[in-house]
Each structure stands twice: as structure tokens, then as C-alpha cells.
Structure 1
């Protein structure tokens, strides 16, 4: 089979690899689509502590079950499935509470597809018995395309953030950052009942994209005073929820100042290791009674909900897909993607 194999920073080779052998309890998935994540781009450029190489990247995976091992129940050859990338242990403190994205074993060794296990930038991916038993294969119906299904995982991460921030009926929500996940936050906020969604972004091309997903007010902080605009739009009170969907310490600090009293502030985007110490005015948090939290990953239940939302037409998954490419185009796309006007780029091996 053809696969995109990562050997080190800026060294990704599309080469021939043997099709994985199916053992007892395993499932072999013929990959129909695997979307590019921002993490894939960072790994390509800078590497990752959990990947020594060579390794097949890609964790936003969907396809068709091509083969199943002895003892596999509940799945049939030909089933259309999404692969939940996090392979949780099922036994730790957080797994027992259903918080599989916080699994202690996963956190310790990044036990996920495209990291610990070979990923989906290949013609086939093997889902091992442990992942099959943990329910990492999520079936979805014919009405949803493979390309849409592939973006259910990043959308699930956004949904996790929305639910943690308790976005609901009547909320005014500010999303800082209009990348693909930022735009997913916009649509999800509207589905959950937000009446006004504001988007702040300094890249004009990205900012204009946010309008397609239901943003009510677009703000370029390089051209307008973000605080003045947001206060004017919220009768001087501030947004009920501020989601920082950008890797920016400054944006996280500003979010705390912008939020309304009793507001919820979500540090959704992770920060670079060399610029991750955020300064927060403790009195602002104290007197405004703010809630500050983060979001990391998603659970299988979040993925299933996003598949249902797209399948029911509540969210237009196709609108997020900027381009579909072949496996051979992937190395060059990983160089280009940060420069181009892309939301989600999907690889079809």
C-alpha cells in the first residue's frame, strides 16, 4: 500500500508499505479520507516528542471496514466508520468517569493513531483489538460523505469546548481566531442557542470565511479596537463566553478582560512552549466572578454527536472542506497549507 511516512522534520516520504496483517480482534480499515490537522503541520515542520519515526501520520480518519479478525462483533465488512484517534485505557480514574480524552495512559505516551499507532495517511489503517474493544470505530450512514466524516474529530474537539463553556440559549459568544476550528465554534454556538457570535481575527481571508458559518460581527483587531467593538455590541457588558481558538498568549490574557461578569473563558488553543505563561489579573477574576478553563481533545460521544449534526443538516460539513488532495500531494501541501486560504484539506489515499 502507499503511505506517507514521517522520518523527521520536513522529511515526509510517500512510499510503499505492506498492508497491515489482521490479528485476533483487529479491524482493517480501507482509508477513504483523512483530514489534515494543524498538529500534522506542526509535526511535519518541528517533529513531536512521541514520534521518533518512521511513522505514518494522520489521525482524522474515516473509511470502510475491509477485514476483521476473529472474535470481532458489532462490525461488518463494508461498514463506513470514523476512527476515534485516542486509544484510552478504559481503567484509569478519568476513563472510569467517561473522560477518555483525559486518559492517564494516553497522556503519558500519546497512545493515538498517527502518533503511537500508524495513522490514516495511507491506503489502509489497522485498528488493534484494544481500540476495537474500547469503541474507537464509529459507524455513520450513507448520507454523509467520507470527507465530511473525516472532519468530525476536530469538530468534536470544538463541541467539547462549547459544552465545557456551557454555551446556551441567549448567550453572546466571542470567538478569537477564525481558523477551521474557530469557524466550527461559530456554527456550534449557533446550534446550541447563542444569539450573537462575534469573531476576531487579524487575517482578513480567514475573517471573511467566518461569515459563512453564521458570525454576526467580524472584527479585525489590527483595524478596530476589539474591546470597544465588543462592549458596543453587548451594551457595555461583554460577551458571556470567550473562546480563544488561537495559539496566542496575548489573546488569552485579553479574553479575561473582555468577558462579562460571570462569563466563561475557554483557553481552547494550546500555547508554544516558549510563550505559555499567561498573566491574569486576579482581582478581575475575583470581582467579575469569572470561570476560566481549557479544552483538550474529545470523546467518542462528541464525535458521534458531530456526525449526527452533519447528517441531520444542522451543520454543513462540506462548507469546511477547502480542498481534496491525493496522498502524493501531501508533502507539498504541508508546506503550503499555512500560507494558503484553507480551512480543512482532506487527503484521499
Structure 2
């Protein structure tokens, strides 16, 4: 089979590898599509402590079951499935409380285990045991289904932020995940959805997603504009979907009293300390929290929302490429000129 193998920062090679065979309790997946994540770009550039070269990365996974190992029940060859990549232990403090995304003993496809930038991959027994496999609705393509993983993460953030009817939601950052937050906030009933983005290209790309207001804070006074839009209240929810310390720091000042602030995007390792005005948290009774990953249930909900038309997955896809084009596609994903780029291993030479 053909696979894209990560050998180190800046070094991904397209190789022929032996076809994997499913062991007991495992499934062989023929990869239909794998979307490129910002984390994939960072691995390509800098490596990752959980990725030990040579390794096949790619964790936004959709495909069809090609073969089934001994002892597997409940699945059959030919079924189209999306796979949640976080493999949880099912036994630790967090797993026992229904928070498998915070598992103390987690492993992940595309990190610890070979991922989906290949024509075939093994779905380990631990994934089957953890309920990580969700069937793809008939009206969704593999490309759309590969978006279930990032959409599930965004949905986790929206639910933790309790976005609902009557909310004024500010989404800071109009990259792919920011655009997912726009459409999810609308689907969950927000009264007004406002986007803040300093890159004009990304701001223009995000206009496809029907927010109520689009603001470039380098051209307009963001706080004044927000107060005008919200009748002097400020946003009741602020989703910081950008890896920017300044955006996290300013969110406290922008939010309404009793506002919920979600730090969705992590900060770069060399600039990860934000200075937050704790008096604003105290006197405005703010709730500040983060989001990390998602659960298999979030993945199932993400698929259902796309199938029902509440989230238009096709709008999020800027480009579909072959596996041979992956190295160039990673460069393009880094440019900010695209939303989601999806790799289809079955196309191309």
C-alpha cells in the first residue's frame, strides 16, 4: 500500500509499505478521506512528543471496513465509518466519569499508532472497545465525514460554553475551527454571532458561514463595536479559536458580566503564558475554561448534525488532494489561504 511517512521535521516521504493485517479484535480500514489538521502542520514542522518517527500521521479519519480480525462483532466489511482518534483506557478517574478525552492513559491514532495518511490503516482493539467507530450517514461523503473529528472538538467547546438561545457569541479567529464555531453557535440558537479576525483573507473566507457581524479589529474598535451590537452588554460567550495570547487576555474585558470564555486554541510552547486580569474575573463573575479534544459521542453528534444539514460540511472543504500531494498540501494548509484540505488516498497516481 501507499503511505505518507513522517521521518522528522520537514521530512515526509511517500512510500510503498506492506499491507497491514488485522489481529484479534482489530479492523482493517481502507481510508476514504483524512482531513489535514493544524496539528498535522505543526508535527510536519516541529515534530511532536507523542510521534516517534518513522510514523504515519493523520487523525481526522473516514473510510470503509476492508477486513475484520478474529473476535470482532457488530461490524462488517463494506461499512462506511468515521473513527474518533483518542483511544481511552476506560478505567482511569476521568474515563469512569465519562470524560474519555481527558484519559490519563490515552493513546491516539496518527500519534502513538499509525494514522490515516495511507491507503489502509489498522483500527486497534482499544478503539472498538471504547466505541470510537461511528457509522457514516448515507448522505455524507468520506470527505465530509472526515470533518467529524474537528467538528466534534468544536462541539465539545460549544457545549462546555453552554451556547444557547439568546446568547451573543463572539468567535475570535476565523480559521477552519473558528468557522465551525460560527455554524455551531448558530445551530445551537445564538441570537447574534460575531466574528473577529485580523487576517482579511480569513475574514473573507468565513463570510460563507453567515455570522451576523464580521470585524477586523485592526480596522475597527472591537470593544466599541461589540457594545454597539449587544446594546451595551458585550458578548455572553467568547470563543477564542486562535493561538494568540493577546486574544485570550482581551477576552475578559470584552465579555459581558457572567460571560463564558472558552480558550479553544492552545498557545505556542514558547509563548504560552497569558496575563489575565483576575479582577475582571472576580467582579464580572466570569467563567473561564478550556477545551481539549472530544469524545466518541461528540463525533457521533457531529456526523448527525452534518447529515441533518445543520452544519454544511462541504462549505468547510477548500480543496481535495491525493496522498502524493500531501507534502505540498501541508505547506498550503499553513498559508491561511484555505479552510480544510482533505486527503483522499484513493485518488491520484
Q: TM-score range by the shorter chain?
A: over 0.9
Q: How many residues align?
A: 345
Alignment partner of 1:231 is 2:236: no
Alignment partner of 1:7 is 2:7: yes
Q: Describe how 1:1-349 pairs up with structure 2 within 5 A.
A: 1-106=1-106, 111-349=107-345
The Cα of 1:209 is off from its aligned counterpart by 2.0
The Cα of 1:230 is off from its aligned counterpart by 0.8
Q: Flag structure 2 segments of 5+ consecutive residues without an equivalent.
A: none
Q: Distance in 2 between matches of 1:225 and 1:75?
A: 55
SS of the aligned residue for 1:228 comes to: helix
The Cα of 1:49 is off from its aligned counterpart by 1.0
SS of the aligned residue for 1:242 comes to: strand
Q: Flag structure 1 segments of 5+ consecutive residues without an equivalent.
A: none
Q: Summarize deviations over 1:232-282 as a string: whole Å, max 9, x none.
A: 111111100000000001000000110000000000000011111111111
Moved over 2 A (4+): none
The Cα of 1:52 is off from its aligned counterpart by 2.1
CA contact (8 A) 2:158 2:185 kept: yes
Q: Taking structure 1 as the reference length, what is the TM-score of the superposition?
A: 0.98
SS of the aligned residue for 2:335 comes to: coil
Q: Distance in 2 between matches of 1:337 and 1:149?
A: 19
SS of the aligned residue for 1:131 comes to: helix
The Cα of 1:10 is off from its aligned counterpart by 0.2
The Cα of 1:177 is off from its aligned counterpart by 0.1
Q: Distance in 1 between matches of 2:22 and 2:312?
A: 35
Q: Taking structure 2 as the reference length, what is the TM-score of the superposition?
A: 0.98
